[in-house]
């Protein structure tokens, strides 16, 4: 039986490049970068070299890079910083979307509840896209921040980031994007795409867990989430995780350099997967067919419960998910699928498949057949499905 890992949107296997980049800073150059003696200064030099390399990958300047513990921390610091800056100018309105990652949504909810901010969550079209025009129409005189994710973590749709950023730049509003799913998988240029702040996480592009980046354009005042030291230009206290940062820089460099080859391989395989799964009756792709990440596909199937689908796929050797890894313990339907208009009864039965660049045609075809078999098996034992087939309940999707 094949063993196929199809949950790269949750986390990726560390690359050998990242592992080898980390090893010297665990065993040899292990000094504290804030120390003045030689081994500490060697670590400091490596840290600043990594900062410059990361900056180059996204078109930024080294001093605009703050190392964090991951995407969630970077999201929090970006949003809180923009909110505080806006508050000082009497601006307490923030615009986001209804299908953001919870690191964004929960931070916005806290600002509403505890500090009196007003948040506008834009509706998302059925194709999983928000337009720049909709953002422009929502901006008010008291808007201090727009935060729209680069690529959705569940359905993989990619937003018109450059156009949204241009609108924000014209209106004088800060623009943040959660690019955790996008970094290393599609081209990012913060200057060309009009991005003021951006969040990424190493373990989404074959780097280590627990390492991330906040890009903040020069001149944007940042609020400290962690106090206690002068690290990261005084914006993030605590001894830097030099081994993880070296792994992050190496992995991002490698992924960024290979984006063209990655897309050339993955897009045809992704489309092959979509075509195969589209043969299953009463199922539909979630999100736009074209404007999506090269390796991520998300489907809903009528009459299917997501947990059973995942467990039976695992029995067949396919490791998949039904949505965000951060909410895998929740019994509620995906807020992302509800945001694009899926009803509760099918939002519970979603399947996310996210492949890495080592996937083969044979693995794609095996996955398609495994999903077909499991869906047929589950429907065969489902009273709800029998009601659909007998006409007692109406079908949602076309056959």
Catalytic residue IDs: 326
* Structural tokens at position 193: 């795409």
Across 190-210, b (16+ Cβ under 10 Å) vs e yields beebbbbbbbbbbbbbbbbbb
Contacting residues for 137 by C-beta, under 8 A, at least 6 apart: none
14: exposed, middle or buried (Cβ count in 10 Å: 0-12, 13-18, 19+)? middle
What backbone phi and psi angles, to 5 degrees, belong to 74? -65, -40
Dist. CA 149–CA 102, nearest whole Å = 11
Radius of gyration from C-alpha coordinates of the chain: 22
Distances (CA, A) of 94 to 89, 91, 125: 14, 9, 20
Through-space distance between the first and last CA atoms of the chain, rounded to whole angstroms: 31
* Structural tokens at position 176: 């943040």
Dist. CA 295–CA 353, nearest whole Å = 8
Dist. CA 164–CA 176, nearest whole Å = 10
The β-bridge partners of 351 are: 299
| Angle, helices 306-315/361-380, rounded to nearest 10 degrees | 130
What backbone phi and psi angles, to 5 degrees, belong to 307? -65, -45
Dist. CA 206–CA 211, nearest whole Å = 11
- Within 10 Å of residue 86's Cβ, how many Cβ atoms? 20
Contacting residues for 199 by C-beta, under 8 A, at least 6 apart: 71, 74, 75, 78, 176, 177, 178, 179, 180, 212, 213, 214, 215
């Amino acid at each position: 039986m094949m063993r196929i890992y199809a949950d790269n949107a949750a986390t990726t296997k560390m690359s050998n490049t990242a592992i080898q980049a980390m090893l010297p800073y665990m065993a040899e150059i292990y000094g504290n970068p804030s120390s003045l003696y030689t081994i500490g200064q060697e670590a400091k030099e490596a840290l600043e070299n990594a900062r410059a390399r990361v900056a180059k990958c996204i078109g930024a300047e080294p001093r605009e890079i703050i190392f964090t513990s991951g995407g969630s921390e970077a999201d929090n610091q970006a949003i809180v910083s923009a909110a505080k800056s806006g508050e000082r100018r009497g601006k307490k309105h923030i615009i986001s979307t209804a299908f953001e990652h919870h690191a964004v949504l929960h931070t916005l909810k806290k600002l509403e509840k505890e500090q009196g901010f007003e948040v506008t969550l834009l509706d998302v079209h059925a194709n999983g896209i928000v337009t720049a025009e909709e953002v422009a129409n929502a901006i008010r005189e008291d808007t201090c921040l727009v935060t729209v994710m680069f690529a959705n973590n569940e359905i993989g749709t990619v937003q018109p980031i450059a156009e949204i950023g241009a609108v924000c730049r014209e209106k004088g509003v800060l623009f943040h994007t959660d690019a955790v799913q996008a970094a290393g998988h599609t081209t990012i240029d913060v200057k060309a795409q009009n991005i003021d702040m951006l969040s990424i996480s190493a373990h989404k592009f074959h780097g280590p867990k627990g390492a991330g980046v906040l890009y903040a354009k020069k001149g944007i005042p940042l609020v400290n989430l962690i106090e206690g030291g002068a690290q990261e230009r005084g914006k993030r206290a605590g001894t830097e995780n030099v081994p993880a940062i070296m792994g992050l820089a190496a992995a991002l460099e490698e992924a960024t350099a290979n984006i063209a080859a990655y897309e050339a391989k993955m897009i045809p395989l992704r489309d092959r997967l979509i075509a195969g799964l589209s043969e299953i009756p009463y199922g539909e792709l979630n999100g736009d067919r074209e404007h999506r990440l090269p390796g991520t596909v998300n489907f809903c199937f009528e009459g299917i419960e997501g947990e059973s689908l995942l467990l039976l796929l695992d029995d067949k050797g396919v490791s998949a998910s039904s949505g965000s890894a951060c909410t895998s313990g929740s019994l509620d339907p995906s807020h992302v699928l509800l945001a694009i208009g899926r009803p509760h009864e099918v939002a519970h039965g979603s399947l996310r498949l996210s492949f890495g660049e080592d996937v083969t045609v044979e693995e794609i075809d095996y996955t398609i057949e495994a999903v077909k078999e499991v869906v047929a098996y589950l429907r065969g034992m489902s009273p709800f499905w029998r009601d659909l087939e007998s006409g007692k309940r109406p079908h949602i999707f076309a056959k």
